[in-house]
Structure 1
Amino acid sequence: MAPFTIRWGIISTGGISTKFVHDLLVDPSSREVSDVAHKVVAVGSRSVESAQKFVDKFKATPDDESPSWGIKNGVFDRVKARGTYQEVYDDPDVDAIYVGTPHTLHYENTKDALTAGKNVLCEKPFTLDSAELDELIALAKEKNLFLMEAVWTRYHPLAYAVEEVLKSGKLGKPKRFTADFSMDFPMDDKPTSHRMLDPVLGGGALLDMGPYPSVWAMLLVHRNPYNKDTDPKVLTSYQTVYERTNVDLNSRWLVDWKGLCQGQLLTDLGSAGLREATAVLQCEEGDLIIEYPPYCSEAFQIHPRPERDLGTIKEKSRHVHPIAKGNNGMSYEADEVARCIRDKKLESDRMPWTESKIVQGWFDVVRTSGPTATATMKGHASK
């Protein structure tokens, strides 16, 4: 049987869209996929020239690089360069839109795509607040369209392997969770217009980096078989302001899953952060440790409890589950979108709207409780 093929329209030609299109062009058999396939049929940018430059660069891919497979096998045939996003939304050949624009444009771009009758995969964070997200979900339901936040980490081989460990029960009940995504970013050396510094672009640590400690909180604690709390709340939060532009230099928040455990989540642009333990779930029988980087980890460890509190796990072990060769790691979420649209689903079971709403709710609390919400929302309104 021929694979189900999804035809993509790409919104924005920046770095994240470049990585996504790269993965659409990689041979699906490299990741052992044969049931779905992808085509890129339209690319939208701020000008036709910019879109065409993006297209031409991919068409010139050297034969020894993995995207060349797609160029040779029709994935990029007759792709249209468009000077407006609306032309991509309105293209009858497009089945699904990938939104790779800055954070503050996600709501607008996704709403426009859904209004035009297109399925949407939108980069994280989905929106700037829960009200915007609720509106998009309602619109997807009304239009009977698929909608998903592009939390690519959920579809990586490691995420599935960790899920099996948790389902086995060998670690026992969770007792404590921590997750950290930090980098020693040279804030003072960057212009105030840089996307990480500019509140108009949703700059700062929380919106850009916060989805990654959050995804491990969701995968390790929220989806843990022991968890019964469907609406975990933020107990406390704190933000440090970067005074040049009033974005957050760091944000941290404590989440409580009633009857189970608490989790401390942290993002920081002023420190390199932890490397071998970017997320740690401490349980009754042992500890599960996700190795850096949190967005694309390829290894996890299981550690025994300390000797005075030894559980059933007696030896440390390390488990490696790499991204398929030639893929950036975004191919897996694209495959999920194709399968969901093929199966006429409006949302992914692995990245459901309810879980996007939980994380968005956390961000709302951190921002409204801290000093950065006003700057970001003013910037959003000015756009």
Structure 2
Amino acid sequence: MHNTNWAILGCGSIAHKFAEDVLATEGAVLYAVGSRSQEKAENFRQHHNAQKAYGTYEALVKDPNVDIVYIATPHTFHKEVTLLCLAHKKAVLCEKPFAMNQEEVEEMIAFAKAENTFLMEALWTYFVPHYQFALQTAHSGELGAINSLKADFGIDVPKNPSHRLYNKNLGGGSLLDVGIYPLFAALTMLGIPETIEAKATLDTNGIDLNCDMELTYANQVKAHLFSAIDTQTDTTCRIELEKGTILINSRFHDPTNVTITKNGITETLDFPVSVHGYHYEIVHCQEMLAQGKTESDIMTFEKSLQLISLLDQVRKKIGLTYD
């Protein structure tokens, strides 16, 4: 079996976790890392024993041995770096959010299709076993129809203007960074809502410190969602159904366990992972490349477009804008 040479662009905390999972995945090779700083790239390379370190993104994408690039830069650079990779026929797994708005996502997808090159949004939760189990259970009908969904993702990050989450130029704020997960849960469990209401607390520079969302579906089914960077929350996802409850325990977007309540009986199922859990999407991307596909059959372009549309609609409701 052909090994897949992975390259990572960006050297932040998530890139380190992803690198550890690449190293633990069969058929995956941590081939290269790229940064705008040669020193950062070299330190990352040495730490994870990658083969190559590049001090520019351009140099990395010109390496003929790179099969696929994982983009772990701040949100505002996702479109630019994705287009650069695709222009050099490099398959791309781009961290969420895919881009800053629907227009950018549409441009990325159109370019991937034109270049006939694989592109996928790295929303890893979709691939982790506990979430797939919860999704299948909710949709199986064994617990009846969904009556409501409640999901939150709040972290308490000390206010620091230089921190990425508080920097508007880097796409800071709660919605795009952590609010995307509750929205993703509502989208995958319930689909497209009929209406969206939202309110937020905005910082002095205009980013959202927290965001409260309510999505309404047919038959008055509602999803209550919350995100924050100034408040720690349980970070759970609770689905109430006609005949029971599905509780995806903290932190619901990470590998965790799921508690099912039915007929007065409660059972918690564990889904242990070997490293962080990114290897599920890594394996999926490798399978897609091996099959010659240019689009994921799980995290499809349609799903990414639906998700960014929801994010755009919430941003409009709360008055959150980015240049």
The correspondence for 1:115, drawn from 68, 87, 107, is 87
Residues 234, 365 of structure 1: 8 Å contact kept: no
Residues 234, 362 of structure 1: 8 Å contact kept: no
Residues 138, 246 of structure 2: 8 Å contact kept: no
**Which whole-Å CA distance do the structure 2 matches of 1:14 and 1:209 have between them?**
16
**CA deviation map 1:237-267 (0-9, x unaligned):** 1111122x32101112222333572212210
The correspondence for 1:235, drawn from 189, 196, 210, is 196
For 2:7, give the aligned amino acid: G
**Which whole-Å CA distance do the structure 1 matches of 2:60 and 2:197 have between them?**
43
1:216 matched residue in structure 2: 185
2:215 matched residue in structure 1: 255
**CA deviation map 1:124-179 (0-9, x unaligned):** 00010000000111111111111111011111121222233234321101111111
SS at match of 1:196: helix
1:316 matched residue in structure 2: 266
**Which whole-Å CA distance do the structure 2 matches of 1:49 and 1:193 have between them?**
21
The correspondence for 2:240, drawn from 265, 282, 287, is 282
Structure 1 residue 359, shift from structure 2 partner: 1.3
**Which whole-Å CA distance do the structure 1 matches of 2:105 and 2:225 have between them?**
22
Structure 1 residue 26, shift from structure 2 partner: 1.3
Residues 196, 314 of structure 2: 8 Å contact kept: no
2:147 matched residue in structure 1: 175
2:225 matched residue in structure 1: 265
The correspondence for 1:47, drawn from 37, 48, 59, is 37
**Which whole-Å CA distance do the structure 2 matches of 1:242 and 1:133 have between them?**
26
Alignment of 1:103-182 (within 5 A): 103-182=75-154
2:11 matched residue in structure 1: 13
Structure 1 residue 24, shift from structure 2 partner: 0.7
Residues 193, 217 of structure 2: 8 Å contact kept: yes
Residues 233, 362 of structure 1: 8 Å contact kept: no
The correspondence for 2:250, drawn from 286, 292, 301, is 292
Structure 1 residue 369, shift from structure 2 partner: 2.4
Give the direction of change, closer, same or farther, for the CA distance of 1:82–1:234 in structure 2 (3 Å limit): farther
1:82 matched residue in structure 2: 54
Give the direction of change, closer, same or farther, for the CA distance of 1:131–1:319 in structure 2 (3 Å limit): same
For 1:52, give the aligned amino acid: E
Give the direction of change, closer, same or farther, for the CA distance of 1:298–1:234 in structure 2 (3 Å limit): same
Give the direction of change, closer, same or farther, for the CA distance of 1:183–1:50 in structure 2 (3 Å limit): closer
1:337 matched residue in structure 2: 285
**Which whole-Å CA distance do the structure 2 matches of 1:83 and 1:272 have between them?**
36
Structure 1 residue 15, shift from structure 2 partner: 1.1
Give the direction of change, closer, same or farther, for the CA distance of 1:27–1:363 in structure 2 (3 Å limit): closer
Residues 24, 331 of structure 1: 8 Å contact kept: yes
**Which whole-Å CA distance do the structure 2 matches of 1:12 and 1:234 have between them?**
37
**Which whole-Å CA distance do the structure 2 matches of 1:14 and 1:152 have between them?**
17
- Bigger Cα displacement from structure 2, 9-18 vs 198-207: 9-18
**CA deviation map 1:181-204 (0-9, x unaligned):** 0122222xx2x1210111001111
For 2:105, give the aligned amino acid: L
1:184 matched residue in structure 2: 156
TM-score under structure 1 length normalisation: 0.80
Give the direction of change, closer, same or farther, for the CA distance of 1:113–1:27 in structure 2 (3 Å limit): closer
Give the direction of change, closer, same or farther, for the CA distance of 1:300–1:370 in structure 2 (3 Å limit): same
SS at match of 1:210: helix
The correspondence for 2:318, drawn from 363, 370, 373, is 370
1:25 matched residue in structure 2: 23
**Which whole-Å CA distance do the structure 2 matches of 1:259 and 1:110 have between them?**
40
**Which whole-Å CA distance do the structure 1 matches of 2:272 and 2:302 have between them?**
29
For 1:256, give the aligned amino acid: T
1:199 matched residue in structure 2: 168
The correspondence for 2:206, drawn from 246, 268, 276, is 246
For 1:337, give the aligned amino acid: C
Structure 1 residue 295, shift from structure 2 partner: 2.1
- Bigger Cα displacement from structure 2, 37-46 vs 147-156: 37-46
SS at match of 2:63: coil
**CA deviation map 1:299-341 (0-9, x unaligned):** 111224xxxxxxxx33111111122x2x111111111110011
Residues 125, 254 of structure 2: 8 Å contact kept: yes
Residues 165, 229 of structure 2: 8 Å contact kept: no
